[in-house]
């Protein structure tokens, strides 16, 4: 097989290379259906021709509203081959949020699952630029699959010949909308190279912190509308390996798929790993095939990590990235997870080919040990935010991406995060980083999860509030939590109020949505009924946090 991963770096050529060199190898397994590399290439060629016949040209935006499946990843390749840019739409969003993404991107064509057809049908009349809507999975009146309908029927009569759109590594291929933790989501435009540079740099430097091998079986359990899901799939695809795709993460199903398909690698948020280990029969024998697990998006306590190492019995690598970096920026490699390494508080070192610096308020580079804003220089980075030049200039300063995270570097170049810059709590002029308090709370045996936010306070400017999720069957009083934190944290960092909830709101990557937590607590304090958003990783209803119990 030709070495497309280091020579030309486009998804179009990667698809063609695998169709020739790994034709009958399974590319995607989803809900019992297997798609080979030859079939994926052939069908995405047909879909690319159909896009062209629908008037989609180079640079046009094509949206997809639906769950992960072979159809979703086929459309990504079809867009690449037509020179178009895919806009994946988070299917958990409200109708107004979907409308914003379709309107902002200027999508001319929308692929949509039947499950979300009503949403598409409601927003389409208000979007004159949306010329075509294609149902992905056609069904009959009883909801059963109907022959001759859906995406395959839409492109069935088109040729299987290769298209060459003339695009290169620096041309746009995907436009991913940020999770909107602050303000409306922004469309981060990623080029083809975002999905190639990391593995190539790892090989060039002779390291395997994170790697995808041709014989790997990779579990895709994070949503494909975010960089974590689509990026992990694309790295697996470009290696010629097999992706086992979950339309939605369900812990019991994830354990079954790992056992049945002998999964070797995956990427997951810590909460997902914890849920998997809680499933019946999820012992070491269930995960005997695993060789490496990458985790990120949220901190992992040493207690949970130790349990993961025992149960999964494989190597672990922590990653630090964002939609804007396009791929992994920083990695804590497997060797740093060994007992006695003393590096588990770090998120790792810059991946080969990347650089990290920390800057102060005036933009000067800070020395090791001083906390400031994390900045990353990486060849996989985005081209910019779609139609937002000012926001792009604020985030991309020269070659450097300003990550919005507060942290510091140690003398050996390891990166330590404090928290999001805009989540920093300021009490009487003292900076408090919520992640530090959350980690201390998570160490309590009764605590399963915690979120810490600042709320306005007339005396101190802000006051520290904690929302705590208890382990099943656990009972603890706020005063017990307060006493447990004394000696571990400075007094001014200890929450002045504790709230209890069944779950915490998270974005699809597993990050706590502290803005949603703040809004819910503010509404509760004003006596307004409020509801925490559904958690991203499992379909459980969320109960509004109780009124604060002051200590």
Contact predicate 216/261, CB 8 Å: no
Distance (Å, whole) CA 217 – CA 262: 7
Q: What is the CATH number of the domain that holds 72?
A: 3.40.50.12780
Q: What is the mean pLDDT of residues 413-417?
A: 94
Integer CA distances (angstroms), 201 to 17, 331, 350, in order? 20, 13, 12
Burial class (CB within 10 angstroms; exposed 0-12, middle 13-18, buried 19+) of 344: middle
* Phi, psi values for residue 405, rounded to 5°: -105, 145
Which DSSP helix (H) or strand (E) runs through 173?
strand 172-177
From 143, 176, 194, give the residue that closes a domain. 194
What pLDDT is stored for residue 129 in this prediction? 94
Distance (Å, whole) CA 438 – CA 458: 24
Encoding tokens for residue 25?
Answer: 């190898």
Distance (Å, whole) CA 482 – CA 498: 9
Q: What is the mean pLDDT of residues 71-86?
A: 98
Distance (Å, whole) CA 479 – CA 65: 46
DSSP 127: -
Please give the residue range of the domain that contains residue 437. Answer: 424-550
Encoding tokens for residue 20?
Answer: 């020739």
pLDDT: which is higher, 161 or 533: 161
pLDDT category of residue 551 using cuts at 50, 70 and 90: very low
Encoding tokens for residue 382?
Answer: 């985005």
What pLDDT is stored for residue 488 in this prediction? 83
Each residue of 371-387: pLDDT tens digit?
999 999 999 999 999 99
What pLDDT is stored for residue 548 in this prediction? 41
Q: What is the CATH number of the domain that holds 429?
A: 3.30.300.30
Q: Tell me, yes or no, whether 466 lies in a domain.
A: yes
What pLDDT is stored for residue 140 in this prediction? 42
Encoding tokens for residue 243?
Answer: 């992706």
pLDDT category of residue 461 using cuts at 50, 70 and 90: confident
Kindly report the pTM of this predicted structure.
Answer: 0.80
The 10 Å CB-count burial string (b at 16+, else e) for 107-116 is bbbbbbbbbb
Q: What is the mean pLDDT of residues 226-242?
A: 96
Encoding tokens for residue 374?
Answer: 């994390």
Q: Tell me, yes or no, whether 116 lies in a domain.
A: yes
Distance (Å, whole) CA 365 – CA 426: 23
List the beta strands (DSSP E) in 90-179. Answer: 109-112, 132-135, 172-177
Q: What is the mean pLDDT of residues 391-396?
A: 95
| Residue among 424, 418, 410 at smallest CA distance from 439 | 418
Burial class (CB within 10 angstroms; exposed 0-12, middle 13-18, buried 19+) of 511: middle
Encoding tokens for residue 55?
Answer: 């008037």
Q: Tell me, yes or no, whether 245 lies in a domain.
A: no
pLDDT: which is higher, 488 or 189: 189
Contact predicate 294/264, CB 8 Å: no
DSSP 532: P
Q: What is the mean pLDDT of residues 320-331?
A: 95
Q: Tell me, yes or no, whether 429 lies in a domain.
A: yes
What pLDDT is stored for residue 298 in this prediction? 65
Distance (Å, whole) CA 246 – CA 32: 11
Each residue of 490-503: pLDDT tens digit?
788 899 999 999 99
- The total number of residues shown for the chain amounts to 551
Contact predicate 510/535, CB 8 Å: no
Contact predicate 220/245, CB 8 Å: yes
DSSP code string of 314-382: SEEEEEEE-TTTSSEEEEE-GGGGSTT---TTS-BEEPTT-EEEEE-TTSPBPPTT--EEEEEE-TT--
SS3 annotation, 435-477: HHHHHHHHCCCCEEEEEEEEEEECCCEEEEEEEEEECCCCCCC
From 194, 217, 232, give the residue that closes a domain. 194
Characterize the bridge pairing of strands 26-30 and 242-245: parallel
Distance (Å, whole) CA 308 – CA 145: 40
Radius of gyration of the chain from its Cα atoms, rounded to whole angstroms: 23
> Among the ranges 80-84, 227-231, 520-524, 539-543, which has the highest mean pLDDT value?
80-84
Number of domains into which the chain is organized = 2
Contact predicate 82/74, CB 8 Å: no
Distance (Å, whole) CA 337 – CA 344: 7
pLDDT: which is higher, 302 or 313: 313
What pLDDT is stored for residue 417 in this prediction? 87
| Residue among 285, 152, 293 at smallest CA distance from 221 | 293
Q: Tell me, yes or no, whether 389 lies in a domain.
A: no
Encoding tokens for residue 333?
Answer: 């490699």
| Residue among 67, 114, 58 at smallest CA distance from 89 | 67
What pLDDT is stored for residue 69 in this prediction? 95
Q: Tell me, yes or no, whether 70 lies in a domain.
A: yes
Which DSSP helix (H) or strand (E) runs through 426?
strand 425-427
What pLDDT is stored for residue 550 in this prediction? 39
Cα-Cα-Cα-Cα torsion 18, 21, 25, 28, nearest 10 degrees, comes to 0
Which DSSP helix (H) or strand (E) runs through 293?
strand 292-296
- Taking 50 as the threshold, does the pLDDT of residue 1 lie above it? no
Residue 156, beta-bridge partner list = none
Characterize the bridge pairing of strands 33-36 and 26-30: antiparallel
Determine how many CB atoms are found less than 10 A away from the CB of residue 438.
25
What pLDDT is stored for residue 321 in this prediction? 93
- Taking 50 as the threshold, does the pLDDT of residue 535 lie above it? no
What pLDDT is stored for residue 179 in this prediction? 62
List the beta strands (DSSP E) in 13-90. Answer: 26-30, 33-36, 61-65, 85-89
Q: Tell me, yes or no, whether 295 lies in a domain.
A: no
- Which of 73-87, 155-169, 195-209, 521-535 is predicted least confidently? 521-535
Distance (Å, whole) CA 233 – CA 253: 19
From 162, 179, 194, give the residue that closes a domain. 194
Q: Tell me, yes or no, whether 224 lies in a domain.
A: no
Chain center to CA of 371: 26
DSSP 3: -
């Amino acid at each position: 097989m030709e070495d497309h991963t280091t020579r030309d770096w486009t998804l179009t050529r990667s698809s063609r290379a695998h169709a020739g060199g790994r034709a009958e190898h399974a590319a995607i397994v989803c809900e019992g259906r297997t798609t080979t590399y030859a079939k994926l290439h052939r069908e995405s060629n047909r879909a690319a021709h159909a896009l062209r016949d629908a008037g989609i040209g180079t640079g046009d935006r094509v949206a997809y509203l639906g769950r992960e499946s072979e159809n979703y990843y086929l459309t990504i390749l079809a867009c690449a081959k037509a020179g178009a840019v895919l806009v994946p739409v988070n299917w958990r969003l409200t109708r107004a949020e979907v409308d914003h993404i379709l309107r902002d991107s200027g999508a001319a064509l929308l692929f949509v699952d039947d499950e979300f057809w009503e949403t598409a049908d409601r927003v389409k009349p208000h979007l004159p630029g949306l010329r075509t809507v294609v149902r992905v999975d056609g069904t009959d009146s009883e909801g059963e699959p109907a022959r001759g309908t859906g995406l395959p029927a839409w492109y069935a009569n088109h040729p299987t010949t290769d298209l060459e759109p003339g695009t290169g590594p620096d041309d746009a291929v995907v436009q991913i909308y940020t999770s909107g933790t602050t303000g409306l989501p922004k469309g981060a435009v990623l080029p083809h190279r975002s999905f190639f540079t990391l593995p190539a740099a790892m090989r060039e430097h002779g390291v395997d912190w994170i790697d995808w091998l041709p014989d790997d079986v990779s579990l895709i359990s994070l949503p494909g509308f975010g960089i974590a899901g689509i990026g992990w799939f694309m790295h697996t695809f470009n290696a010629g390996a097999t992706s086992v795709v979950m339309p939605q993460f369900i812990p019991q199903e994830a354990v079954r798929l790992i056992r049945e398909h002998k999964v070797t690698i995956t990427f997951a948020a810590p909460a997902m790993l914890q849920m998997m280990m809680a499933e019946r029969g999820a012992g070491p024998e269930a995960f005997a095939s695993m060789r490496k697990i990458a985790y990120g998006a949220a901190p992992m306590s040493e207690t949970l990590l130790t349990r993961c190492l025992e149960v999964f019995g494989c190597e672990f690598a922590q990653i630090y990235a964002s939609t804007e970096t396009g791929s992994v920026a920083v990695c804590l490699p497997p060797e740093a997870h060994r007992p006695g390494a003393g590096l588990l508080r770090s998120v790792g070192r810059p991946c080969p080919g990347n650089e990290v610096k920390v800057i102060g308020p005036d933009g000067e580079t800070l020395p090791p040990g001083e906390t400031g804003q994390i900045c990353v220089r990486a060849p996989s980075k985005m081209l910019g935010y779609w139609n937002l030049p000012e926001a792009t200039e604020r985030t991309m300063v020269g070659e450097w991406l300003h990550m919005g995270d507060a942290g510091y570097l140690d003398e050996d170049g390891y990166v330590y995060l404090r928290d999001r810059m805009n989540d920093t709590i300021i009490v009487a002029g003292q900076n408090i980083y919520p992640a530090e308090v959350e980690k201390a709370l998570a160490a309590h045996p009764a605590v399963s999860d915690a979120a810490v936010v600042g709320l306005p306070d007339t005396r101190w400017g802000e006051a520290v509030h904690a929302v705590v999720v208890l382990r099943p069957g656990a009972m603890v009083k706020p005063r017990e939590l307060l006493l447990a934190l004394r000696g571990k944290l400075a007094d001014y960092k200890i929450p002045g109020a504790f709230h209890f909830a069944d779950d915490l709101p998270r974005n699809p990557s597993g990050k706590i949505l502290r803005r949603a937590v703040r809004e819910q607590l503010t509404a509760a304090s004003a006596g307004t009924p409020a509801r925490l958003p559904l958690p991203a990783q499992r379909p459980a209803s969320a109960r509004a946090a109780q009124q604060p119990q002051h200590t």
